[in-house]
Amino acid sequence: MFASKLARTIFLPAQFTVVLDNETLYIDQQLAEALGWKPNQKLDGLPLTLSGWAPSYFAIARTGSDSDLLARGTVESSRNPNVHEVLDYLKDR
């Protein structure tokens, strides 16, 4: 029983088609559910966070989730000169 409490669902990366119209991003139900929406969800919706590190890292995650914390940490790391030095070093390999 203890092991089952520790078990987590592992999601593999997947690609989805989305539509951006003005400032609204339209997604399909499968993507909505992957972000945490449930079919019986009330009208108040689900809080999401958009994090970004230009020009190539942008992530949308459910606010407060492990994925959100990882995305925010990645963006925060982008301000660290040591991280840039390591990335430049790795890029040259």
Confidence of residue 85 (pLDDT cuts 50, 70, 90): confident
> What does the block give as tokens for 28?
């399909």
Residue 77 has pLDDT above 80, yes or no: yes
Band of residue 10 on the pLDDT scale cut at 50, 70, 90: low
Give the confidence band of 62 by pLDDT, cuts at 50, 70, 90: very high
Query: 51: how many CB neighbours lie within 10 A of its CB?
Result: 20
Is-contact 51 69, C-beta < 8 A? no
Percent of the chain with pLDDT over 70: 88
Domain spans of the chain, in order of start: 9-91
